[in-house]
Amino acid sequence: MDARGELVRRCALKRLASIGPLSKEGFSELLSAVAADPRSFADDAEEQAFLEIEQTLEKERAATAGDDLLDDDEYQRERRRRFGRIATSCDRALALDPTCIDARLLSCLVADQEPDATLGLLLELDHDVADQHGAIVTSEGEDAWDDVFLRPRLRVRAAISRTCLDTARYRMAASSCLSLIDASPTDALGARLTAALALARLEDETGFDELDARFLRQGNAWSHLARVLLLFKLDRPAAARRALRGFDSLCTGGAYALLRPTYVETYLPDRPQSKPGSFEEVTLCVHEADPIVVDTPDFIPWASEQPGFAESAGRFADRLGYDM
């Protein structure tokens, strides 16, 4: 979430509404002025609440820099403290603006409940927001993401989709993702990534191919791994083997990430940005695919036995000094 970028745009648009039309150059200057000092332009309760969230997210991201140096117990203690700080910040934001969707979304996530309970909280939030604002409606060719004030609602829907996947509600995950893509065709929140995994688990090859074509077959770690899972579940071993080789060759450390998955922290509030094809990307992908991999117990042993796959994981581990 680019909270600062959104805060600047929100404040600039509200100031524009109060001062009247500006030229393109004039609005650009207004954006620059807001970016230099957002606090001076956050002059209503809604933006002051958003400013509270923006500052907290920025501060907590910086605070995670040393997490890799902590042992497990220290990490869990720091994690609880961090979630507590975020929850307190959300309370402050909601005291300013009880309708702040991002504060409510973060509150659901840092409650740190079991996935089923988290899904219940998210669905309740989505229902409340829909009751208050109505459905998100866009005309043909429009993208809801272009309206910065709609983005919090889209983030809620994306969190619901990912939590549906995490709780093995694959059909609900796919449906939610496709609805989100309809509202925001540019898919800034990556609903297509969650959808690819859900459709693979559902063994819906037609749906998977349609999704792939919709995004011009631009591959990523999720689509590559989903294709392997789909073909494996459809019992097409030769095609699955080729897809597995593609996954490993196109995703840095793909074999290692799949055979040695690592812990990934709760997304606050949405999926972190990662470079396409990077180890960071494939790590996130494997983390999100975990419910499907666990539900397909023969998959990892099969992948390990494919020629060169375990060896590729070992070479990657040796190169970076990781355990194997």
Q: What tokens were used for 46?
A: 């809604």
147 shares its domain with 194: yes
Residue 171 lies in a domain: yes
Give pLDDT, residue 142: 94
What is the CB neighbour count within 10 angstroms for residue 178?
19
Please report, as a single letter, which amino acid is at residue 241.
R
Task: Give a yes or no: residue 93 inside a domain.
Answer: no
pLDDT at position 64: 81
d(CA 252, CA 229): 18
Do 200 and 243 sit in the same domain of this protein? Answer: no
Which are the contacts of 97, defined by CB distance < 8 A and separation ≥ 6?
A: 45, 46, 48, 49, 50, 103
Q: Helix, strand, or coil here: 126?
A: helix
184 within a domain of the structure (yes/no): yes
Q: Look at residues 183, 218, 253 and tell me which one is the last residue of a structural domain.
A: 218
Question: From CA 291, how far away is CA 13, in angstroms rounded?
Answer: 42
Which of the 8 DSSP states describes residue 270? S
Query: What CATH number has the domain bearing residue 147?
Result: 1.25.40
Of 54, 122, 116, 52, nearest to 89 (Cα)? 52
Show the domain range for 306: 219-324
Same domain (yes/no): 165, 228: no
Whether residue 24 lies inside any domain: the answer is yes
224 phi-psi bin (left φ>0, alpha ψ -120 to 50, beta other): alpha
Per-residue pLDDT of the chain (324 residues; tens, 9 = 90+): 999 999 999 999 999 999 989 999 999 999 999 999 999 999 999 999 999 999 999 999 888 877 877 888 999 999 999 999 999 999 999 999 999 999 999 999 999 999 999 999 999 999 999 999 998 988 888 999 999 999 999 999 999 999 999 999 999 999 999 999 999 999 999 999 999 999 999 999 999 999 999 999 999 999 999 999 999 999 999 999 999 999 999 999 999 999 999 999 999 999 999 999 999 999 999 999 999 999 999 999 999 999 999 999 999 999 999 887
Question: Which ranges of the chain would DSSP assign to H, the alpha helix?
Answer: 3-19, 24-36, 38-41, 45-63, 72-96, 101-110, 115-133, 151-166, 170-183, 191-201, 205-214, 221-233, 237-250, 254-259, 279-294, 299-305, 309-320
Residue 289 within any structural domain of the chain: yes
Do residue 305 and residue 240 come from a single domain?
yes
Query: What is the model's pTM?
Result: 0.95
Rounded to whole angstroms, the Cα distance separating 39 from 238 reads 58
Tokens found for residue 324: 């194997």
Q: Identify whether residues 133 and 201 lie together within a single domain.
A: yes
Neighbouring C-alpha atoms within 13 Å toward the C-beta of 124:
9
In a domain? residue 119: yes
Task: State whether 298 and 201 are in the same domain.
Answer: no
Domain count, the chain: 3
How many whole angstroms separate alpha carbon 256 and alpha carbon 310?
8
**Residue 131 maps to a domain:** yes
Domain ends where: 218, 250, 276? 218
